[in-house]
């Protein structure tokens, strides 16, 4: 599933090439369920003749703004891609929406599994209300140690499911959650209330780190994800734990393990990411011990600290 880095990569690619163009046609909708709050006719009425004013992102939603306060919010779900192609290029199989632009190109939504959704909003206020109901702080824009500490306070949930909850923190999915927990040396089944302040700080830093590196490498491509030019990302060649069951941990060479948490695969190092937390009494209070040591050098381990995975390795 495209996560925040993949959506951000697409937004950055589309922004300079879409803003200022006008929509001349909307067609190709062959899967009405992809439009939960609108129809092809409504899209045509709302967008034809209007100029693209902005391309942005919130969590995993790509947001396209038009003049007269018209908005599209695109959620790619499992396999959706937004491709900007010349009009004379035949549409790919599984193209479910096509937006013709006045420069001779088309913005096409291609989604083999048909889970993706496109929403239309007639006011920015409506879009903001929609996002506020579904999304917590944005993991790239809003997150810091203080924000994460406030979100974790009073919670007893396991870390991995909590990070996947978009209402808790927007943008992180299965892959980047595993990578961030490895970088922070935290077991995916640790509970929120077991984290020390130092661990909260490491986790906040790790989340930002893996997202930034994912964006710099133009996303992670295992099967279906492509950027707006149709090109695959490169981050899959630099993953530390995700999809690497049985392979050596880049830090300590212990074989990576995989477990199921809520029907989702989770990858971790059983040596560096221990589930149990020993506790000691310090100045009359109880604090974690044994899992709170800083990484070597006092900084987070580099996400680039291992060789690319071998060709042909799979998710």
Active site residues: 2-3, 60, 264
Spatial contact of 6 and 173, defined as CB atoms under 8 Å apart: no
- Rounded CA gap, 60 and 210, in Å? 15
53: enclosing H helix or E strand: strand 52-58
CB atoms within 10 A of CB 144: 12
End-to-end CA distance of the chain: 12
The residue whose two tokens read 């018209």 is 70
Does residue 288 sit in helix, strand or coil? strand
Spatial contact of 109 and 74, defined as CB atoms under 8 Å apart: yes
Spatial contact of 56 and 74, defined as CB atoms under 8 Å apart: no
- Rounded CA gap, 186 and 194, in Å? 11
Alpha helices (H) along the chain: 4-18, 40-47, 124-134, 145-152, 159-164, 174-183, 197-216
């Amino acid at each position: 599933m495209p996560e925040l880095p993949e959506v951000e990569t697409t937004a950055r690619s589309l922004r300079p090439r879409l803003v200022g163009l006008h929509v001349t046609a909307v067609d190709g909708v062959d899967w009405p369920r992809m439009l939960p709050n609108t129809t092809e006719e409504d899209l045509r009425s709302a967008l034809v003749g209007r100029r693209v004013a902005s391309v942005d992102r919130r969590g995993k939603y790509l947001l396209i703004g038009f003049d007269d306060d018209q908005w599209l919010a695109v959620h790619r779900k499992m396999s959706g891609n937004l491709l900007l192609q010349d009009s004379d290029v035949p549409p790919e199989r599984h193209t479910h929406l096509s937006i013709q632009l006045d420069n001779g190109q088309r913005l096409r939504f291609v989604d083999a599994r048909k889970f993706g959704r496109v929403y239309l909003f007639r006011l920015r206020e409506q879009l903001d209300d929609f996002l506020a109901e579904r999304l917590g702080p944005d993991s790239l824009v809003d997150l810091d140690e203080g924000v994460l500490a406030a979100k974790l306070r009073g919670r007893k949930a396991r870390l991995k499911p909590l990070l996947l909850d978009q209402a808790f923190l927007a943008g992180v999915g299965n892959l980047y959650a595993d990578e961030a927990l490895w970088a922070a040396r935290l077991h995916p089944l640790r509970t929120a209330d077991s984290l020390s302040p130092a661990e909260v700080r490491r986790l906040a830093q790790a989340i930002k780190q893996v997202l930034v590196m994912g964006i710099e490498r133009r996303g992670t491509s295992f099967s279906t994800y492509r950027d707006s030019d149709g090109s695959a990302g490169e981050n899959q060649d630099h993953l530390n734990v995700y999809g690497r069951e049985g392979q050596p941990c880049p830090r300590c060479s212990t074989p990576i393990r995989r477990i199921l948490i809520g029907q989702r695969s989770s990858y971790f190092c059983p040596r560096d990411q221990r589930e149990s937390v020993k506790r000691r009494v310090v100045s009359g209070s109880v604090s974690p011990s044994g899992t709170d040591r800083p990484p070597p050098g006092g900084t987070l381990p580099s996400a680039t600290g291992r060789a690319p995975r071998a060709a042909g390795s799979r998710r």
